Chains A and B, each alone.
Chain A
Amino acid sequence: MNVGSGDQMTDFSQAISAADALASTRYAEGPFAAAIRDTRVAMIVTDVSLDDNPIIFANNAFLRLTGYTRDEVIGRNCRFLQGVDTDPIEQARLRAAIGAGQDIACELLNYRKDGSTFWNALYLSPVRDGAGTITHFFGSQLDISDKKRIEVQLNERQSDLEQLVALRTQELTKALAQKTALLHEVDHRVKNNLQLISSLLLLQNRRVTDLAVKGALRGMLERVGAIATVHRRLFQSDDVERFDVSAFVRDLVSDMMGGSGREDIRVRLDLERVDVAAAKAAPLALVISELFSNALRHAFPPGHGGEIFLGISRDDSEFRIEIADNGVGLAKPATSSGFGLTIVQLLCQQLKARNETSSADPGVRVVIHLPVNGAH
């Protein structure tokens, strides 16, 4: 029988003899022999004592799996199943295990008689005699071609998915950049338009001579200025949802004192860092502006200076804003009167804040309590 290079007639006949010997032992009969012969799992036995460790037994499943007949298999080393595309690293691992007399489980690409390939999950283990010497190897083979195909599909699917995710992330990043640019654009326009409103009021104020009208325009300018100050600071921090009230107060006080021309009035500040939601910024700013302006304009007649105190603190569930002066005090009981104080009342309702006006003896103290809603 010609079966390729390296095979000699002598080895084959030895193997055939060994195979016959095995078949004629009592191990070739009985239920266990039948089990091995007929099981669906491919199995072989090799004989280590013969040259090149050839197959001396192959069950029917092995023949069905590989497409060879028994005659074509007995006497050959099972490497005949390997071919060009078999992984050389796995082959080397198999050889090393056999050489070391160790069990090994490996996955090899094998070739059938008709040249078609299959993935073989091979399990090989040495068989030892009483003295512990290896006499044979026992191997079982499983066709795992399906499993391998699914593995490849999964890997492809994985990389497809990863590509899709990368693309989507790119799209989202671009959309976010666009939204941020738009936000900046809107913010910029709002600021410019507030500037425009201020400029209009200032221009009008220059032309008007009637003092009452000038006073009214000044009041409007201050209110617009308070809102403008809010917007100058809004969106300046990383968190666009929160507004730093103490920073706003410093800006406001600086602007209002600078424009007042009253060197004889001092301002004392005691401000805790307090953040409120952006939606509350403008209403709160107007309230503080109104109360401070009130003190500035009405507490100190010309020639009678004094001090205005502005304090912001937080206790648990509330912010406390106090504006107090040591000026002339309340002319009449503390009822809301005047346009400015009406605004304060309305805005406090909107902010769900309580306000209390009392005599500071001398002077007036107004305290606002603003509920905290998950604020800083």
Chain B
Amino acid sequence: MSVQPLEILIVEDEVLLATELEYLLRELGCHTVGTAMNADEAVAMAEALNPDLALVDVHLEDGPTGVDAARRIKADCGGVVLFMTANVKRLPEDFAGACGVIGKPYSEHGVKTAIAFVDACLRKGSAPGLPPVGLQLSPAYAARWGLGDLARAG
């Protein structure tokens, strides 16, 4: 990746998934600033550490609080959130202010291409092309990054 590694906060209550994700991110050249397991922890860490991107699962230690955590992170510290969840269909229409979602179960390749894509969007302010398979952008961010109606590929 580019000069400054992307700083990422992982919000996931399954330890093994979080650990594997951390390895993946390192291979991508990103830096994990921390791991949170519930909504309050996630918001506190986001405020303290100011990550470039927060990867948030919907189901956390304290229940299905991931959506709420995402809203608060966006509102409190303007952090960009990317959902990682098995429940894509249950997300609200506005994605709670998040930029998109990666559906579980994801593949290594799927996660790597998705994060590389979001990284490029964040640095340039616009999308380098269509999102990769496995990544669905929210309508708001698709528009912001110049993709209009094409929020999803496949």
Contacts and interface: CB of A to CB of B under 8 A. Distances in A.
A196 B16 contact: yes
Contacts of A247: 154
Contacts of A258: 107, 109-110, 112-113
Interface in A221-244: 225, 228-229, 231-232, 236
B108 A250 contact: no
A259 B109 contact: yes
Contact of B17 (A196, A251, A259): A196
A198 B105 contact: yes
Contacts of B33: none
A191 B59 CA distance: 12
A196 B14 contact: yes
Contacts of B109: 254-256, 258-259
Interface string B1-33: 000000000000010110111011000000000
B105 A231 contact: yes
A195 B87 contact: no
A203 B104 contact: no
Contact of B107 (A203, A229, A231): A229
A188 B85 CA distance: 9
**Size class of the contact patch on chain A:** 20 to 34
A229 B103 CA distance: 10
B154 A203 contact: no
A192 B19 CA distance: 15
B16 A232 contact: no
Given A184-B90, A187-B86, A250-B154, A225 B17 contact: no
Most buried by B among A195, A200, A225: A195
A318 B45 CA distance: 56
A332 interface: no
A278 interface: no
B89 interface: yes
Given A187-B86, A192-B14, A196-B14, A202 B23 contact: yes
Interface string A171-204: 0000000000000100110011011101110110
Interface in A323-357: none
Given A195-B104, A250-B154, A184 B20 contact: no
Q: Which of B14, B21, B89, B106 has the most CB of A within 10 A?
A: B106
Given A231-B105, A247-B154, A250-B154, A191 B86 contact: yes
Contacts of A199: 14, 16-17, 19-21
A206 interface: yes
B135 to A, nearest CB: 11
B98 to A, nearest CB: 18
A202 B86 CA distance: 19
Interface residues of B, number: 28
A195 B110 contact: no
A258 to B, nearest CB: 4
Contacts of A198: 20, 105, 107
B87 A200 contact: no
Contacts of A200: 16
Contacts of B87: 184, 188
Contacts of A232: 103-106
Nearest to A235: B89
B110 A203 contact: no
A259 B107 contact: yes
Contacts of A203: 16, 19-20, 23
Interface in A105-133: none
A191 to B, nearest CB: 4
B86 A192 contact: yes
Which of B19, B105, B108 is packed against the most chain A CB atoms within 10 Å?
Answer: B105
A247 B90 CA distance: 21
Contacts of B89: 184, 236
A188 B89 CA distance: 11
Given A199-B16, A258-B110, 12 more contacts: A191-B86, A192-B86, A192-B104, A195-B17, A196-B17, A229-B107, A232-B103, A254-B110, A255-B107, A258-B107, A258-B109, A258-B113
Interface of B: 14, 16-17, 19-21, 23-24, 59, 86-90, 103-110, 112-113, 132-134, 154
**9 tightest A-B CB contacts, nearest first:** A258-B109, A191-B86, A228-B105, A199-B20, A195-B105, A194-B105, A255-B107, A188-B86, A259-B109
21 contacts: A191-B105, A192-B86, A192-B105, A194-B104, A194-B105, A195-B105, A195-B106, A196-B16, A198-B20, A198-B107, A199-B17, A202-B20, A202-B23, A203-B23, A225-B107, A236-B89, A250-B133, A254-B132, A255-B110, A258-B110, A258-B112
